Amino acid sequence: MKAVQFSDHGDRSVIDYGDFPDPTPDRDEVLVDVKAGALNHLDVWTRRGLPGIDLDMPHVPGSDAAGVVLEVGEDVTRFEPGDRVAVSAGVYCGKCEYCRDGEYSMCVNYHIIGEHVRGVHGERAAVPEDNLVEVPSGVEWETAAAAPLVFQTAWRMLLNRGDLTAGESVLVLGASGGVGHAAVQIADYAGAEVYATASSEEKLEYAAEVGADHTINYEDEDFAAEIRELTGKRGVDMVVDHVGEATYPDSIKSLAKGGRVVTCGATTGPNPGAGLNRIFWNQLSVIGSTMANPGEVDDVLELVWDGTFEPRVREVFPMSETARAHEMLEEREGFGKVVVVPDSEYDE
């Protein structure tokens, strides 16, 4: 088969699309004929190299994909050949104290398909049965591939970890990205007043289309100062910040007393100043969140499949042009998700 792969960490030049051994499903795995995959910033970090993660090379990246079941392992009970499926990338042990309590995304052995182990950006992929969800017949492959990782991440961040309720106010940073544009929609669905930042007027228009009540161009404005002005110096109840060092100090400044920052990542760096004086004086909370539990995945994807939420796709590329897809993420081009399709499936 053909697959996206790299044999060394580095810049976009290490990405190749070429022959790779066909996967063989284990007893608990499903062989999927991949129709579409989607990129996340995680793919960029994996390509560059993440501290403490030693990958088997060559490595096939990709945490998001959707396709048709070709074959199932002998222990698989939920799927059969011909089923339409999408990948939910979080792998958990099912045995530790957190898994026993139903908090699978806090599993001590938690890892992510495409980050810690071989990913799914190839013509075929062998995926554990527990990491697949059913895709209804009316859902397009690009939508099915683009939705799972970012919508489950944003859903858990806002509604479980952040405990967002109707009538509260929430600021979503980087609203044009995958998690950001999902968070805007989920916050709007929850009945919150939604503030969103992005780097261009075009991106802000898209953010408004999917649910933002107020938009801020962070290239032209100090978003913390703008939030204070828009809220009458009160601040917002929650900030969704997956950007990290570059935005964290202003995220803290944007909060009302008793507010909370919820984070699932640190694109610009993991070590900002803590801002402890502001945290204790204003009684703020900083909350971490990673992926989601299976029930949360089912809940949010049901709302994607029925059209309540819309994964916006900024561009679709053949997998042979994955380097260009990475460039779009790194250069912050466009709004929403970037999708890659096996060259054999690509139709211009």
Rama region for 220: left / alpha / beta (φ>0; ψ in -120 to 50; rest): alpha
* Domains of the chain: residue spans and CATH: 2-147+311-341 (3.90.180.10), 151-288 (3.40.50.720)
Rg (CA), the chain: 20
Q: Which helix (H) or strand (E) holds 4?
A: strand 2-5
pTM: 0.95
Q: Which helix (H) or strand (E) holds 230?
A: helix 223-230
CA-CA distance, 124 to 49, in Å (whole number)? 24
Task: Verify cis geometry, omega within 30 degrees of 0, for the bond prior to 318.
Answer: no
Q: Which amino acid is at 106?
A: M
Asked if 65 contacts 149 with a C-beta cutoff of 8 angstroms, the reply is: no
Q: Cα dist. 4→8, 48, 164, 173, 282 in Å? A: 13, 15, 38, 30, 48
Query: What 8-state DSSP symbol labels residue 159?
Result: I
Query: What does each of the 348 residues of the chain score in pLDDT, given as a tens digit?
Result: 999 999 999 999 999 999 999 999 999 999 999 999 999 999 999 999 988 888 999 999 999 999 999 999 999 999 999 999 999 999 999 999 999 999 999 999 999 999 999 999 999 999 999 999 999 999 999 999 999 999 999 999 999 999 999 999 999 999 999 999 999 999 999 999 999 999 999 999 999 999 999 999 998 999 999 999 999 999 999 999 988 777 899 999 999 999 999 999 877 777 788 889 899 989 999 999 999 999 999 999 999 999 999 999 999 999 999 999 999 999 989 899 999 999 998 876
Question: Beta-carbon neighbour count of residue 318 at 10 Å?
Answer: 18
Residue-wise burial string across 224-253, b where 16 or more C-beta atoms lie within 10 A, e elsewhere:
bebbbebbeeebbbbbbbbbbeebbebbbb
